[in-house]
Structure 1
Amino acid sequence: MSKQAPSTASDPMVFSLIMWGEDSAAEGAILLKSILMYTSGPVDIHVICNEVAQVYLEKRLALVKRPRYQVLIRFYKPTWQDMLDRIEREGTIHTTHAAGTPGLMKLFIHEILPPSVKKAVFVDTDAYFISDPYLLWDHFLHTLPSSTVISMPTHPEMFAEQWFDANKICSCIMLLDLEGLRRLRLMDSSFYRSVTPPLPVYSLPAFRALFGPPSSQTGKYEEIALGDQSFWWAIIKYMNSEHETQKGMFEHLHYDWEVSSCLADMYITNMLPGQDDATEEDELKVQLHTWATPHQGEVIRPKLVHFNCLPGPRYYEWPGWDSAKDENTAGTEGLARRWGVSIKYHLGYKWLWLNRGPGHVAGPAESKNQGSKIIIETVSNLKFADQLFGEQSTKTHNH
């Protein structure tokens, strides 16, 4: 079991998010809002983004003067060229996935955030919490084995040969031991190859084991349809292989944290009025997509919902939300009835209402202007960890 000391009320939960462009920020704003709505403690949120996304988010964050708990928002702003250069230094990864270059940055979070950030929860922007995220953080710190460096949901019943079976996981939510990933030296770099002897890199044998050798023409893995998730799957499969000596580096994450419109019809769970007294037997009668999974016969209790299979740049603008189909219908036909009320609530909840800290209502003078606040920081001129390594190696060589 994890040997980390128990967290206290002053220990922040840590997120790392990626938002590139206004559409991504518009979705991510609902995720941020849900974190502040439900958290039972302080949070540090590290956002990898561009200027457009930062401006969109800061406009809303400025409305919250007195959050219930202390909040740190730190924006990391690599340029597009910075990201392209890091991918090129790695040398083999390539994607045709819609998430594109920013999506591949999920593989480099441990290199973008400083070493002082040791663990983080990653969540896609098209998701939001409906429960206290500290439940997830507590699981991360105190339930997972100390050897675990990655945890995400797995679906062993899924298969897709054309995707190298990468749909057996969902990188939409990940618990990342960033310190552990740095220790593994997860991703390759020309800087690591330039020293003598070249530094060992964890992903190299993992990618080759699943994909075979990269293209002889380009040197890249060209047919990787699921983007970062394909590469994560290669890493996870390698961790779980019989050839891997260190077991326990990967752990499955409960489906409660991955109630998805894409992979599993959200298990046909719902937030319909009039069903708040549903029993476990009632839920199991209609629940889908848990057979032959780690949670067969178990009721899924949603804590994070993910709308990842809806058309349009912003999931909450999907025209289907205005439909009214039977709630027990699989696929998107029943989605509007089952989850439309939740979408409307979290979309409509005002940022102003997050002013719930001391002084948020008229009271004794000593209570005013005290309490928690949102601290915003920006990291520009960003350098990846491999660049810092290269600079240090050059200095050492020159001396």
Structure 2
Amino acid sequence: MPTHSRQHSLTSPFLEGPPVTPWRTKATELRRRSTFLKRIAFLAIVSVFAVPIWILGSQRPPSRIHEAAQDSVAPQPAAPAQHKPVGGLWHHAHRPQTAADDDSETATSIVPLVPVRLPAVHDDSGLVPEEGAIQSQPGEEEEPVTFSLLMWSEASASEGVILLKSIFMYASGPTHIHIICDEAAHSYLEKRLALVTRPRHDILVRFYRPSYEAMAERVEREGAISTIHSAGIVGLMKLFIHEILPPTVKKSIFVDTDAFFISDPRLLWEQFRTWGPDTAISMPSHPDMSSAPWRDANKICSCVMLLDLARLRALRLMDSSAYRAAGGPAALSPPAFAALFGAPDPATGKYRDAWLGDQSYWWAVVKARPDLYAHLSYDWEVSSCLVDMYITGLGDADMPEDEQARVQTDRVKDTPHAGQAVVPRLLHFNCLPVDNYYEWDGWNDPKEGLNKRWGAALRYHTGYKWTWLNQSPAGETALTIETVDDVQFADVASAPTQN
């Protein structure tokens, strides 16, 4: 029979009986002693442990939730329960104290926030703390990952819900999502969000509802931009996110609706930490690409961007007749646009050849002010368009990284990732010949390369049920929904009043 160590399980099937141990020998000796001695020993042992426990139990510390509430919420008079917004993330419901309550504490409970509507806020005083610092729950130090998204029409929202779902699925901490939308998109999204009552982490979703007329008027106040891209005026709003969201939102991630995450969004958020002191914009760049008709605007992709909104506000990214009338510093964009497009067309007063809409204008800014720009890894732009997902995808699960890099060599040649393997973290299904990427016929073709590589991922994320996102015990987390109606752009909201 083999020799076994003393750490082996006492119930090991390889041992005929339990091994002899010191504690077992002592137990045998005790069994042989008189009943009187056993009782004396038992009472002595109990007294040694019971008395300290009783003393500690009588000095009960105050509730952690109560302490947090005292620090963050002003004392409330006894009144029927009512909802009060605290930092936009939680509602604290206070109830009257009863005789059954402990005299030393005021009972406090935390309940999920019901949808509320907020006024448009553009506070330029600098006194409002950065969002993220005030939105965390008590004791939560982790900065929320913050998104700014654009969904206009129900069709756009039907793509965007897959993106939202993927954010919820993979987020490792609190998340704030600011959505610029119309009524149709808002209604479509809220029906899905209503199914999530216990997300794994706290989530704030805030809808901004500018009118189409207000967006068109803001473009006109700029003076010389226009677009012939299919996204139209709404697509140009990517250039004005910093003017729609309040100053409390300092930075954000923008992602097009025809994309979804397959990794933790915090990995993308952490890219902000790698920036230089002057960086304000980050997006993927493709120096290997060129197009004269597009004025090389395909050298970047505004499909996914990291935006320092505070810096873009300070730089006054986009011009406005309101800014020009008020005086002050000149806007950043006019000289950048003129350098790329030349003078506006005398007949229309608009720049020519902005074929790619907002991306054309972003390219003008990046080209004129490279100090403001940082390249974003292709890991976050695994695209179905010109680069065809870099010929990477599901399957060959044990393929070494160097072999994957060899497969992708031609796809990343002459780029910042030459010789490197792209590690997919965000999938972007653009350039498919349908309105909604998930309705493409190729997903039903077993011979289609894109379907072979990513069809399973698409079906998993579209089919994942919203109710499966309820992963926390009731009352511990909340999905908060807020709405800002009648949004005013910052150029008008911050302009001095004319007497």
TM-score scaled by structure 1? 0.88
What residue number does 2:79 align with? none
Residue of structure 1 aligned with 2:420, choices 298, 309, 315:
298
Alignment of 1:30-41 (within 5 A): 30-41=162-173
Inter-partner Cα distance in structure 2 for 1:11 and 1:281: 35
Give the secondary-structure state (helix, strand or coil) at the position aligned to 1:88.
Answer: helix
Alpha-carbon deviation of 1:194? Answer: 1.4
Inter-partner Cα distance in structure 1 for 2:270 and 2:414: 27
Give the secondary-structure state (helix, strand or coil) at the position aligned to 1:289.
Answer: helix
Alpha-carbon deviation of 1:389? Answer: 2.4
The answer as to 2:483 corresponding to 1:378 is yes
Residue of structure 2 aligned with 1:69, choices 184, 201, 206:
201
Alignment of 1:191-270 (within 5 A): 191-195=322-326, 197=327, 199-240=329-370, 247=371, 249-270=372-393
Q: Is the 8 A contact 1:48 1:75 kept in 2?
A: yes
Inter-partner Cα distance in structure 1 for 2:491 and 2:334: 16
Q: Which amino acid aligns with 2:432?
A: L
Deviation track 1:24-83 (CA, whole Å, cap 9, x = no partner) reads 101000000000000000000000000100111110000011000000000001111011
Alpha-carbon deviation of 1:203? Answer: 0.1
What residue number does 2:449 align with? 334
Specify every segment of 5 or more residues in structure 1 that has no aligned partner in the other structure, as ranges.
241-246, 326-332, 359-368
Inter-partner Cα distance in structure 1 for 2:299 and 2:488: 33
Q: Which amino acid aligns with 2:334?
A: L
Q: Which amino acid aligns with 2:451?
A: A
What residue number does 2:405 align with? 284
Q: Which amino acid aligns with 1:251?
A: A
Deviation track 1:320-349 (CA, whole Å, cap 9, x = no partner) reads 111122xxxxxxx41111111111000000
Q: Is the 8 A contact 1:191 1:389 kept in 2?
A: no
Identity fraction in percent: 57
Residue of structure 1 aligned with 2:257, choices 101, 104, 125:
125
The answer as to 2:305 corresponding to 1:174 is yes
Q: Is the 8 A contact 1:38 1:130 kept in 2?
A: yes
Alpha-carbon deviation of 1:198? Answer: 6.0
Inter-partner Cα distance in structure 2 for 1:136 and 1:30: 18
Q: Is the 8 A contact 2:341 2:353 kept in 1?
A: no
- Give the aligned CA root-mean-square deviation in angstroms: 1.6
Inter-partner Cα distance in structure 2 for 1:380 and 1:25: 18
Closer, same or farther: CA 9–32 of 1 in aligned 2, 3 Å: farther
Alpha-carbon deviation of 1:222? Answer: 3.4
Inter-partner Cα distance in structure 1 for 2:329 and 2:142: 38
Give the secondary-structure state (helix, strand or coil) at the position aligned to 2:411.
Answer: coil
Q: Is the 8 A contact 2:406 2:419 kept in 1?
A: no
Alpha-carbon deviation of 1:393? Answer: 4.1
Residue of structure 2 aligned with 1:189, choices 312, 320, 325:
320
Alpha-carbon deviation of 1:284? Answer: 2.2
The answer as to 2:468 corresponding to 1:350 is no
Alpha-carbon deviation of 1:9? Answer: 4.8
Alignment of 1:57-96 (within 5 A): 57-96=189-228
What residue number does 2:157 align with? 25
Q: Is the 8 A contact 2:344 2:352 kept in 1?
A: yes
What residue number does 1:158 align with? 289
Deviation track 1:155-186 (CA, whole Å, cap 9, x = no partner) reads 00000000000000000000000000000000
Q: Which amino acid aligns with 2:384?
A: S
Inter-partner Cα distance in structure 2 for 1:349 and 1:148: 37
Give the secondary-structure state (helix, strand or coil) at the position aligned to 2:180.
Answer: strand
What residue number does 2:3 align with? none
Larger Rg: 2
Inter-partner Cα distance in structure 2 for 1:251 and 1:315: 29
Inter-partner Cα distance in structure 1 for 2:385 and 2:215: 28
Inter-partner Cα distance in structure 2 for 1:57 and 1:19: 10
Alpha-carbon deviation of 1:370? Answer: 1.8
Specify every segment of 5 or more residues in structure 2 that has no aligned partner in the other structure, as ranges.
1-131
Give the secondary-structure state (helix, strand or coil) at the position aligned to 2:155.
Answer: helix
What residue number does 2:230 align with? 98
Q: Which amino acid aligns with 1:214?
A: P
Inter-partner Cα distance in structure 1 for 2:380 and 2:458: 17
Inter-partner Cα distance in structure 2 for 1:199 and 1:216: 26
Give the secondary-structure state (helix, strand or coil) at the position aligned to 2:293.
Answer: helix
Inter-partner Cα distance in structure 2 for 1:138 and 1:173: 15
Give the secondary-structure state (helix, strand or coil) at the position aligned to 1:161.
Answer: coil
Inter-partner Cα distance in structure 2 for 1:372 and 1:10: 15
Deviation track 1:125-183 (CA, whole Å, cap 9, x = no partner) reads 0000000000111121x222232100000000000000000000000000000000000
Number of residue pairs matched by the alignment: 362
Alpha-carbon deviation of 1:98? Answer: 1.1
Residue of structure 1 aligned with 2:492, choices 382, 387, 393:
387
Deviation track 1:184-218 (CA, whole Å, cap 9, x = no partner) reads 000011101213x4640100000000110011111
Alpha-carbon deviation of 1:309? Answer: 0.8
Give the secondary-structure state (helix, strand or coil) at the position aligned to 2:307.
Answer: strand
What residue number does 2:125 align with? none
Q: Which amino acid aligns with 1:174?
A: M
Q: Is the 8 A contact 1:9 1:41 kept in 2?
A: no
Q: Is the 8 A contact 1:17 1:123 kept in 2?
A: yes
